[in-house]
Amino acid sequence: MTITADREATSQEDVPRKPPAKKKARRDSQLKAAILFLIPASIGFVVFFAWPAIRGLYLSFTDYNLLRPSTFIGFDNYVAISTDPVFWNSLKVTLEYVVMNVGVQTAAALGLAVLMQRFTRSMVVRGVIMLPYLIANVIVALVWFWLCDYNLGIINAALDFFGIDKVGFFGNENVAMGTIAMVNVWRHLGYTALLLFAGLQAIPKDVYEAAEVDGAGEWRVFRSVTLPLLRPVLAFVLVVTVVGSFQIFDTIAVTTGGGPVDATRAINYYIYQRAFERLDFGYASALAVILMIILAAIALLQNKLLRANESDLER
């Protein structure tokens, strides 16, 4: 009798129990709430990203122009772009800007983040560092355009006072793009530094204590401990800054207008000129598609090379 009872009890335990009705109702209500909150974002994604992207892809295969009906022309726009010297120059100019902007901004932001971690974690200091980022980019560009003016700018006035030749920061083709890059470094430096500072905060203190016990110096700790453990955050920062740098437009539009001698005509500004100055929306759409492909390839390559989804803390 005892063996039979035990078998019956065991067979009853093996039967899967249905979840209580209350838990199922709670999960259903949470799912409905999640869907409700996702609806506005989904509408925004479809209206402002998905549909324009699909529409732009279609227009890239047409000769769409506001002055005449569009016709399908296949890959003619892409063939024309491959032999367009202005496009290749704009791509070269954009790459030069990306290298200057990302290189200086990342190095300076990393140094600033390390200094904040070592010497101060004051909220006031963080707020001051973030101030330039909170100013609209057009206003920042205008302010620096006036400061760097050849005749009236305070920077050239200071150079002249110390007996140094004035510099046409936005009028000299050799320094114009470098000036634009430094203006955007100044604006985005605080934001990038705070992202890296947050990553530094997540590194356990016992790792630094172990390195100190082993007798590692400051540079060795930074190179062998800080940088490897900061890699996921650093990869995210690099992807964001590189993608953002390729989309430089407003600073150029406000200051140089693509000049002098096409020295600052970045690819985004060239797309704007083809679309809204020449009304050649089909060609501009093809340029935009090429830019999108370039950015996607760069982002994937960065994630793969930097192993953005891995952390040395998990090893």
Is the CATH code 1.10.3720.10 the one for domain 84-314? yes
The pLDDT > 70 percentage for the chain reads 89
| pLDDT score for 20 | 62
d(CA 117, CA 193): 11
| Phi, psi of 303, rounded to the nearest 5 degrees | -60, -40
Show Cβ contacts of residue 53 under 8 Å, excluding neighbours closer than 6 positions: 292
Place of tokens 């509408």: 43
Cα–Cα distances in Å, from 121 out to 110, 183, 186, 237?
A: 15, 26, 21, 21
Of 127-131, 250-254, 270-274, minimum mean pLDDT range: 127-131
Lowest mean pLDDT of 36-45, 138-147, 223-232, 238-247, name the range. 223-232
Residue carrying the six token digits 């409905």: 32
How far, in Å, CA of 124 to CA of 14, rounded? Answer: 61
> Which band of pLDDT confidence, cut at 50, 70 and 90, is reported for residue 19?
low
Do you know the residue count of the chain?
315
Question: What CA–CA distance (Å, rounded) separates 145 from 141?
Answer: 6
Task: Reply yes or no on whether the pLDDT at 135 is more than 50.
Answer: yes
